[in-house]
Amino acid sequence: MEKKILIVDDEPNIVMSLEYTFKKQNFEVFIARDGGEALEILKHQTPSVVLLDIMMPNVDGYQTLKHIKNTNSLKNTKVVFLTAKNKASDIEKGLKLGADKYLTKPFSVKKIVSEILELIA
């Protein structure tokens, strides 16, 4: 399987850290700063996984997830929320909307990589 990941987050330091880490794991990495940019990228790319923040300007993570789940060409794309929203009700909502995993910030980069590799294995 091709290892492609779309990282969607509006925090530059998080994006840089994750981009560097996944490139070292031989992923082709795409970056979006919000859900709107992500949706534009998804018109031309089909990543194995989308690592998606929830709280972003313009188009948030929930809206982005709904679009992914309603797009036939993306039906095999895994979606992992990576967010500061860590209440049980937030996690339940994210999983109910169709996220394959729900991870919270702050995070361990090693754990993120492990979770993503397990998900796409």
pTM of the shown model = 0.95
Q: Where are the alpha helices (DSSP H) in the chain?
A: 12-24, 35-42, 61-69, 88-96, 109-120
Average pLDDT for residues 1-13, to the nearest whole number? 92
pLDDT in tens, 90-118: 999 999 999 999 999 999 999 999 999 99
pLDDT in tens, 43-96: 999 999 999 999 998 899 999 999 999 999 998 999 999 999 999 999 999 999
Q: Which of 49, 69, 66 is nearest to 112 (CA)?
A: 49
Domains of the chain as residue ranges with CATH:
4-120 (3.40.50.2300)
